């Protein structure tokens, strides 16, 4: 039993190493330009559910920006995922890390299958899984919080993770300045 655990731990370490290498390479590439017109019609959100439990709050942006009901796609990250706990949104976790930075999770694949006008990276920690998803997501405008790597985002808002209300009003302010809304 213990021997297997050890082997798994070893494998995961290599996966993490291979994921970090992939991430580093991706972040050194010039960002892909996404040929979408200005204006916010589709939004992707990557949310650290361990530290911000109300991930479904992002659905409020539907009313705020008068979007179609299915315009917002939210995916939550939990370090440890309990399959028996019901979550209001789709979840991915550390155990979904594959080789070469792949995330082996059906929800993630579905999330990555779309192109967004705006991606919101709602997390504060320098976390491999969330960063991988952030760099893989195709979005014209990537928005993140102040603690994140500037290479991942086009726009950084210095608002605390817990203060969603402030985040929303700051986001609106900047999107107006950028003539997105």
- Is the pLDDT assigned to residue 163 strictly greater than 60? yes
**In this structure, are residues 42 and 62 in contact, taking their beta carbons and an 8 Å threshold?**
no
Residue of 145, 114, 118 whose CA lies nearest to 131: 145
Domain 2-177 has CATH 3.10.450: no
List phi, psi (to 5°) of 90.
-80, 145
**pLDDT tens digits, residue range 47-73?**
999 999 999 999 999 999 999 999 999
Q: So what's the pLDDT on residue 5? A: 61
Per-residue confidence band for 148, with pLDDT thresholds at 50, 70 and 90: confident
**pLDDT tens digits, residue range 68-78?**
999 999 999 99
Q: So what's the pLDDT on residue 3? A: 59
Positions of E strands within the chain: 43-48, 72-78, 90-93, 115-122, 138-145, 155-157
Q: So what's the pLDDT on residue 80? A: 85
Q: Average model confidence (pLDDT) for the chain? A: 91
DSSP assignment letter at 52: -
- Is the pLDDT assigned to residue 30 strictly greater than 90? no
Q: 151 to each of 32, 82, 118, how far by Cα in Å?
A: 13, 32, 16
**pLDDT tens digits, residue range 96-146?**
999 999 999 999 999 999 999 999 999 999 999 999 999 999 999 999 998
Q: So what's the pLDDT on residue 91? A: 94
**In this structure, are residues 73 and 44 in contact, taking their beta carbons and an 8 Å threshold?**
yes
**In this structure, are residues 74 and 56 in contact, taking their beta carbons and an 8 Å threshold?**
yes
Helix (H, G, I), strand (E, B) or coil at 44: strand
Distance of CA 21 to the CA centre of its chain: 19
* pTM score above 0.85: yes
Average pLDDT score over residue span 30-36: 81
Domain residue ranges in the chain: 2-177
177/181 Cα distance (integer angstroms): 9
């Amino acid at each position: 039993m213990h021997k297997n655990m050890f082997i798994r731990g070893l494998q995961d370490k290599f996966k993490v190493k291979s994921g970090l290498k992939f991430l580093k390479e991706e972040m050194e590439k010039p960002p892909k330009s996404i040929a979408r017109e200005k204006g916010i019609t589709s939004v992707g959100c990557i949310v650290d559910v361990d530290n911000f439990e109300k991930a479904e709050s992002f659905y409020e942006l539907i009313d705020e920006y008068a979007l179609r009901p299915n315009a917002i796609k939210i995916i939550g990250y939990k370090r440890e995922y309990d399959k028996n706990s019901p979550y209001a949104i789709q979840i991915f976790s550390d155990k979904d890390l594959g080789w070469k930075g792949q995330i082996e999770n059906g929800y993630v694949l579905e999330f990555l299958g779309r192109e967004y006008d705006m991606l919101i990276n709602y997390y504060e920690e320098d976390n491999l899984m969330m960063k991988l998803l952030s760099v893989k997501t195709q979005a014209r405008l990537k928005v993140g919080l102040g603690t994140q790597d500037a290479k991942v985002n086009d726009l950084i808002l210095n608002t605390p993770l817990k203060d969603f209300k402030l985040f929303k009003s700051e986001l609106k302010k900047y999107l107006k300045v950028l003539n997105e809304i």
